[in-house]
Structure 1
Amino acid sequence: QLATVRGSAVPSPYGGKVRQIQIDLDPQAMQSKRVSPDDVARALSQQNLVLSPGTEKIGSFEYNVKINDSPDEFTLLNNLPIKNVGGVTIFIHDVAHVRDGFPPQINVVRDDGRRSVLMTILKNGATSTLDIIQGTKELIPKLKETLPNNLVLKVVGDQSIFVKSAISGVVREGTIAGILTSVMILLFLGSWRSTIIISMSIPLAILSAIIFLSLTGNTLNVMTLGGLALAVGMLVDDATVVIENINHHLEMGKPTTKAIIDAARQIIQPALVSTLSICIVFVPMFSLTGVPRYLFIPMAEAVIFGMLSSFVLSQTFVPTVANKLLKYQTQHFKHEHHTDAHRPEHDPNFKVHRSVKASIFQFFINIQQGFEKRFTKVRLVYRSILHFALDHRKKFITLFLGFVIVSCVTLFPLLGKNFFPEVDSGDMKIHIRVQVGTRIEETAKQFDLIENTIRRLVPQNELDTIVDNIGLSVSGINTAYSSTGTIGPQDGDILIHLNENHHPTKEYMKKLRETLPRAFPGVSFAFLPADITSQILNFGVPAPIDIRVDGPNHDNNLKFVRAILKDIRNVPGIADLRVQQATNYPQFNVDIDRSQAKNYGLTEGDITNSLVATLAGTSQVAPTFWLNNKNGVSYPIVIQMPQYKINSLADLANIPITTKESSSMQVLGGLGSIERDQSDSVISHYNIKPSFDIFASLQGRDLGSISGDIETIIQHHHQELPKGVSVKLQGQVPIMQDSYRGLSLGLVASIILIYFLVVVNFESWLDPFVIITALPAALAGIVWMLYLTGTTLSVPALTGAIMCMGVATANSILVISFARERLAIVKDSTQAALEAGYTRFRPVLMTASAMLIGMIPMALGLGDGGEQNAPLGRAVIGGLLLATIATLIFVPVVFSVVHANDTFEDEPEATGNL
């Protein structure tokens, strides 16, 4: 019934016992009656048939013909004759016992120590994870109605909890970012009317983006919502610039309508270029492949749709609402205008508040007035700094570029590289392998001791459930779905789920890694990816690092594996190092003397059939069924010798062997020799060739550094590589390297695209170059921020770097656009640069602050799954900080240098931005 949930894939259950009709052989009785297991199997397959002979037509009717080919009660199988020995008919009940039972259990599941059955539900297709889980939960009450009252059905693992928490965390980050951005705008503009206009554009832009995401087949998930949360600070950029420019024109004493039209017309082209410069940097990301593509393309689309919607709203919605809300300010600006943005003490709205005897409003008025006074002082200080830099242009440019280059060259190698940040989902999954060949009953005992140790190390109030899954599942389908590396009864997994308010999972992983190997020598422990994100990134491999050795010769492969394993074990930061394929599984070799067997009329087939029936049962080689007419269910009938009756080498040697033609009997030990040996527990192949896998995880060090050391070791042993043997580093490493190459090319491509975009709009090759001179500073800021926060370079961080290129360019466009206007008027590049920086100081600082504040919640990565996007937010913040400084100081200085020798006509041509 669980498989009926849309989008779900339900493998066979883990653990439990499957009902079947068991025929337990008695070795002593078979020897005394001179009957072999193969005799019993042949008799059962010939006399227990679930077949219809057909129909017979007699007269006007057609009759079904039924024969007593299968008994109505399974106990009647005891009365089936096997063979005639010395004139005596031997029945099944003479040498075996028929019972309602189950096969020997090879897979044990326990939930907090209690024997259980585990059902895993996987996602199949494009259906939402949340929809699948919700559909399953709705089905559970119906399932309980059909189950015995004493059977407990409960959910022990639920990915929707993490997904919902991650989504709610992203929404919370976006909301906080929106509120902080609005407060910042209020402080800068000092007008609640302007703040309301800008704040209203945020939800409208987000709603428009959601509509376009839906039309393009995207869903609301962590990545699309993360893109919208990331864009909150940028969504106010266009509206802020328009409102600030409207206020600037109102200060000139223009009527409201004319001020709005002039302001919108003046700003539309540079605003469009700024918006496109942010959007265009995401274009190279569409060339990504693999997991990064599916993760970051939806985020890129969310940002692009949001930014384009924001621009459209800034040119339509914002002027319309401004015409209604800002008309009360027009009269004031006719009588008194100033070069700064309007001061709150002159705003009639604030005068009304001043007349209200409410201290809370006066309190906020005082805060804004104090902020405005301090901002004016900061602006004057900035003017002095810019003036000084313009007076010492060559020295300043040299020092600034030197700082940028030294920062990048020095700090970049110290960052380290990871594919994706680790996500703390509150789950741990430990793969455990006791001594190879250990029977499952003994493995389960070891798991009891290990589980008790875990409960001592993890506080009880932080521990939710512990689920053991020991041994191999009875279904090959489950083995195909599994990525844990279980290969026999000596293997198993322990899934530990922590409560919500738990300490960092990494701390417990480190503690368990240190304690468990010491407490259980000879037992190997490896932490597997427990959260859905890590499982996807590993591509089904149980570790982020997989060193695959393959070649035509099995022994040569193994020899090289052991050679490099010694050196890899000494690599700092390596953890859970192990070889997946075990080569020391205990084995008995039965060497049959074919000549002697032939003398007794026996063949290898006769001997093998009896061995299979004795040890493994006849379910695979001679399947037969008993049909229960009461419920219409067919149950397999399996002939097998109980394991407790064959628990020594002597018991194996005494297995009776016969032929169907003769009543004579021999025992296995009389037909050959039995010797102890070892063999491979599993044999892996890659492109037909035998292969071995060395798996490893990370602890306290980045993936890039560890993989670099491993590649050095492999290169060092290259001369020892046997002929035909190849070694390849698999897992996350090659995917990370491909992603880094793609994103690095995307970073370069984004700069080139931005340059050509600005060239087209400015109709100049020189000024666009001046604009992108802020980008090296952005790269230095990214490196500094990642270094200071201890954040490694990763795919999200590189994505943030690409995004930062567009964001850093947007403000430079506004500054240079105004500088070109002033240059045409004042005809002096230094004066034009100074006026551009001073005039655009407020809007640049406002838009940059809005972006920075909007990304702070994401950069903190506080919610579930927040670690995944935190490097992205940090990269953007770091890059934007230095890029803003470069925009306000370095870019104007470069502009003054580039245009220092310009000549001007009396009637200069119109610049490209107007």
Structure 2
Amino acid sequence: MLESILRFSIKRKFLVLVMVLAVAGLGLWNFTKLPIDAVPDITNVQVMINTEAPGYTPLEVEQRVTFPLETALAGLPGLTYTRSVSRYGLSQVVAIFSDKTDVYFARQLVNERLSAARAELPAGLEPQLGPIATGLGEIFMFTVDAAPGATHADGSPITPMDLRTVHDWTIRPQLMRVPGVVEVNPIGGFEREILVAFKPEKLLAFGLTQADVVDAITTNNQNRGAGFIEQNGAQWLLRMPGQAEDIAVIADIPLRSDKGAALTIKDVADIENGQGLRTGAATQNGREVVMSTVFMLIGENSRTVAHAVGEKLKEINTTLPEGVVATAVYDRTTLVDKTLVTVRTNLLEGAILVIVVLFVLLGNFRAAFLTALVIPFAMLMTVTGMVQTRVSANLMSLGALDFGLLVDGAIIIVENCLRRLSQAGNNPLPLKERMQLVFDATREVIRPALFGVFIITVVYLPIFALEGVEGKMFHPMAITVVIALLSAMLLSVTFVPAMVALLFKKPVKEKHSPLIRGAAALYRPALTWVLKGRWLVVIAASALVLVFGYQASKLGSEFAPNLDEGDIAMHALRIPGTSLSQAIALQETLEDKIKQMPEVERVFAKIGTANVATDAVPPSVADNFIILKPREQWPNPDKPKAQLVEELAALVEPIPGNRYEFLQPIQMRFNELLAGVRSELAIKVFGDDFDSLA
């Protein structure tokens, strides 16, 4: 079979060239479709179910909401386990499925079970599925704040409620339309409500109940359609606008007629603008703001989506009310770009080094150029394979590529062809003889050349047996390397011999570079000496293996080195039961301290639970994001990040009522989604008696 492929490639060399160029073009097109991220996504397949239960205590939430939902999910196909959090006013159930389960199929299964479970829940409670996102889904964060000294036209200050209203009604709807965005999740500020405060003595005097007032407001706060009428050949639609537009309209809603006078809402209640109870807040640089997190749809390109969100936010800023500003505080594009620069630099330096070595050692420009062409063509074929296998371009998948391995087979084939062509004499060979000579030269070495590359490929196959988190971490690396090696093998069998037959028309004189001649001169006496004292060499080599093997056993080990994301995530834990207002005061004090560090550009935090409870935590828990300045702006650019974290810990430890965990943004999110806790190490206590467990 190999000989047939070789004959076809050499005989139809122009066709092979066109086919390779077409595959390269396909690779360029696929490059625009290739997902790009900093690290592989190791999140398991999970579906989050959030149920708001206003007024319910944690015990009631567990008994009346969480337990029925977890019971309803039991027995789902592919379900591995469920975990849940029951806290005041909120139930969160997370269903974890096997890695082979499609996330959309899992959500469909959960939705079907929820339809049946709703009948067992208290009236008015509606379970909602969380966003279709993963641990890499939080790609963009921004704040909505008032500019310094900004006020309304009447001179009144811009309140947190005003900022939240601008976010919910102006910013969020536009960002939700950005391709790839699945959720825009706000936290902080106050949602506007109209407060109707009953006067019990008035209700009693008029013989009314609270339900009567609620029914009156509901009935008289609706727009209704009234059909249509025909007049002069035209059809006119009729509508009855009845929706209240301000507080005064609600105050004048009639309850009943009392002795010819209308009894209205304002006669039995006080109506005023109010604000809803909130379970979370946000701060930045020591002051309260409205903050929002943009979630990316699973499988999208984080760099593209984050960039699109940033551009859209700039556009939205031009339409906001005067004095209100939306500012990006975290952008995944920054980390991805830094990672891409690292990968690009490493790949480029590796490619240049391999090409230089080829030119130096082969001693023939055309031969070195032909061998070097295998690198870009194999990489473009690899990109196509990555897109088809849904592998993203990241530090793990691209960092393992070795260009020396890609050209290994091509070097052997090209060098043997040059040797045979130089032996053919100084006269140009006819086309038929040249093609036959290239065929014979390639056939001589094709099997050992491919076998060497194949052995390296086989080394990566056991990685595909890994499962769970380790599989998600290392599968992209193995897939990318195997595709690249197979692409290089295919090019070595087809493209390389075809191009040798096409490019080397003139006589070839085999010559070795001075480096090769010098190495050969040193190697001959060394080889003679080694063969004479072979037993001594074997014993010495065995001793070295034992010594270094012992040293290797003393080395520490870890699953994978942490990626330096450039920023710091600080998990602040306060005394359980801390109120939201007290947590905000503690947080502002904490941020004032952190801002004193010259390496810190800004610090912001999310306290408690956001609007969509992706992190169901109480007000006593805060996630701090410490964005660092570029290293060249640090007083000591060479300071290790670990030392900076130690200095930060020493700075904030004296603040009473706080405990801290220092992580990184993506790392913290992965920990939360995989294990339900943010820290690297956690202890879970199981039992039936909640009082005893507490």
Structure 1 residues 489-504: aligned runs within 5 Å:
490-501=620-631, 503-504=639-640
SS of 1:213's equivalent? helix
Choose from 375, 387, 396 the match for 2:531: 387
> Is the alpha carbon distance of 1:140 and 1:385 closer, same or farther for their aligned partners in structure 2, counting shifts above 3 Å?
farther
> Is the alpha carbon distance of 1:513 and 1:99 closer, same or farther for their aligned partners in structure 2, counting shifts above 3 Å?
same
Q: 1 CA distance for matches of 2:656 and 2:402?
A: 52
Per the TM alignment, residue 419 of structure 1 is displaced from its structure 2 partner at its CA by 2.1
CA offset digits 1:66-113 (Å, max 9, x no partner): 798x766423544678999xxx99976577532223235543222334
Counterpart for residue 182 of structure 2: 9
Choose from 469, 493, 496 the match for 1:318: 496
Tell me if 1:444 matches 2:584. yes
* Contact 2:530/2:537 (<8 A) preserved: no
Amino acid at match of 1:522: G
Identity of aligned residues (%): 23
Counterpart for residue 526 of structure 1: 661
SS of 1:110's equivalent? strand
* Contact 1:250/1:259 (<8 A) preserved: yes
CA offset digits 1:238-267 (Å, max 9, x no partner): 112223333444565667736644431211
TM normalised by structure 1 equals: 0.49
Amino acid at match of 1:468: A
* Contact 2:405/2:453 (<8 A) preserved: no
TM normalised by structure 2 equals: 0.63
Q: How many residues align?
A: 499
Choose from 551, 554, 559 the match for 2:687: 551
Q: 1 CA distance for matches of 2:564 and 2:298?
A: 26
Structure 1 residues 185-224: aligned runs within 5 Å:
185-224=358-397
Choose from 164, 174, 193 the match for 1:20: 193
Amino acid at match of 1:305: I
Q: 2 CA distance for matches of 1:233 and 1:373?
A: 22
Counterpart for residue 306 of structure 1: 484
SS of 1:277's equivalent? helix
Counterpart for residue 512 of structure 1: 648
Per the TM alignment, residue 551 of structure 1 is displaced from its structure 2 partner at its CA by 1.5
Q: 1 CA distance for matches of 2:558 and 2:542?
A: 29
Counterpart for residue 343 of structure 1: 512
SS of 2:559's equivalent? coil
CA offset digits 1:205-241 (Å, max 9, x no partner): 22222233334444544444334xx131211111122
Amino acid at match of 1:445: A
Counterpart for residue 563 of structure 1: none
Per the TM alignment, residue 289 of structure 1 is displaced from its structure 2 partner at its CA by 2.0
Q: 1 CA distance for matches of 2:554 and 2:564?
A: 24
Choose from 465, 469, 477 the match for 2:606: 469
CA offset digits 1:659-695 (Å, max 9, x no partner): xxxxxxxxxxxxxxxxxxxxxxxxxxxxxxxxxxxxx
> Is the alpha carbon distance of 1:189 and 1:74 closer, same or farther for their aligned partners in structure 2, counting shifts above 3 Å?
same
Choose from 486, 490, 500 the match for 2:617: 486
Q: 2 CA distance for matches of 1:203 and 1:59?
A: 72
Tell me if 1:285 matches 2:469. no
* Contact 1:44/1:80 (<8 A) preserved: no
Tell me if 1:403 matches 2:544. yes
Q: 1 CA distance for matches of 2:230 and 2:507?
A: 104
Tell me if 1:103 matches 2:276. yes
Choose from 243, 249, 257 the match for 2:414: 243
Tell me if 1:50 matches 2:219. yes
SS of 1:527's equivalent? strand
Per the TM alignment, residue 546 of structure 1 is displaced from its structure 2 partner at its CA by 2.6
Per the TM alignment, residue 321 of structure 1 is displaced from its structure 2 partner at its CA by 3.4
Amino acid at match of 1:242: I
Per the TM alignment, residue 136 of structure 1 is displaced from its structure 2 partner at its CA by 2.1
* Contact 1:7/1:123 (<8 A) preserved: yes
Q: Which is higher, the Rg of structure 1 or of structure 2?
A: 1
Structure 1 residues 574-589: aligned runs within 5 Å:
none
Q: 2 CA distance for matches of 1:548 and 1:271?
A: 54
* Contact 1:75/1:99 (<8 A) preserved: no
Choose from 507, 518, 522 the match for 1:378: 522
Unaligned runs of 5+ residues in structure 2 are 1-172
CA offset digits 1:414-465 (Å, max 9, x no partner): 2223222111111212122333333322322221221122122x31xx4332
SS of 1:155's equivalent? strand
* Contact 2:229/2:237 (<8 A) preserved: no
Q: 2 CA distance for matches of 1:42 and 1:222?
A: 61
Unaligned runs of 5+ residues in structure 1 are 334-341, 345-368, 559-914
Q: 1 CA distance for matches of 2:246 and 2:326?
A: 32
SS of 1:45's equivalent? helix
Tell me if 1:433 matches 2:573. yes
Choose from 332, 335, 350 the match for 1:159: 332
Q: 2 CA distance for matches of 1:232 and 1:415?
A: 29
SS of 1:426's equivalent? coil
Per the TM alignment, residue 198 of structure 1 is displaced from its structure 2 partner at its CA by 1.6
SS of 2:306's equivalent? helix
> Is the alpha carbon distance of 1:50 and 1:411 closer, same or farther for their aligned partners in structure 2, counting shifts above 3 Å?
farther
Per the TM alignment, residue 303 of structure 1 is displaced from its structure 2 partner at its CA by 1.8
Counterpart for residue 418 of structure 1: 558
Amino acid at match of 1:383: L
Q: 1 CA distance for matches of 2:693 and 2:480?
A: 49
SS of 1:544's equivalent? coil
Per the TM alignment, residue 59 of structure 1 is displaced from its structure 2 partner at its CA by 12
Per the TM alignment, residue 189 of structure 1 is displaced from its structure 2 partner at its CA by 2.8
* Contact 1:186/1:192 (<8 A) preserved: yes
Choose from 301, 326, 333 the match for 1:128: 301
Q: 2 CA distance for matches of 1:172 and 1:545?
A: 35
SS of 1:119's equivalent? strand
Q: 2 CA distance for matches of 1:59 and 1:169?
A: 71
Structure 1 residues 849-860: aligned runs within 5 Å:
none
> Is the alpha carbon distance of 1:10 and 1:385 closer, same or farther for their aligned partners in structure 2, counting shifts above 3 Å?
farther
Per the TM alignment, residue 324 of structure 1 is displaced from its structure 2 partner at its CA by 5.4
Q: 1 CA distance for matches of 2:652 and 2:413?
A: 63
> Is the alpha carbon distance of 1:146 and 1:55 closer, same or farther for their aligned partners in structure 2, counting shifts above 3 Å?
closer
> Is the alpha carbon distance of 1:429 and 1:142 closer, same or farther for their aligned partners in structure 2, counting shifts above 3 Å?
same
Amino acid at match of 1:520: I
CA offset digits 1:466-502 (Å, max 9, x no partner): 11222333x3xx22x12xx6313x3322211113326
Structure 1 residues 649-728: aligned runs within 5 Å:
none
Q: 1 CA distance for matches of 2:266 and 2:395?
A: 64
SS of 1:212's equivalent? helix
Per the TM alignment, residue 550 of structure 1 is displaced from its structure 2 partner at its CA by 0.5
SS of 1:97's equivalent? strand
Q: 1 CA distance for matches of 2:658 and 2:467?
A: 39
Per the TM alignment, residue 329 of structure 1 is displaced from its structure 2 partner at its CA by 5.7
Per the TM alignment, residue 187 of structure 1 is displaced from its structure 2 partner at its CA by 2.7
* Contact 1:39/1:82 (<8 A) preserved: no
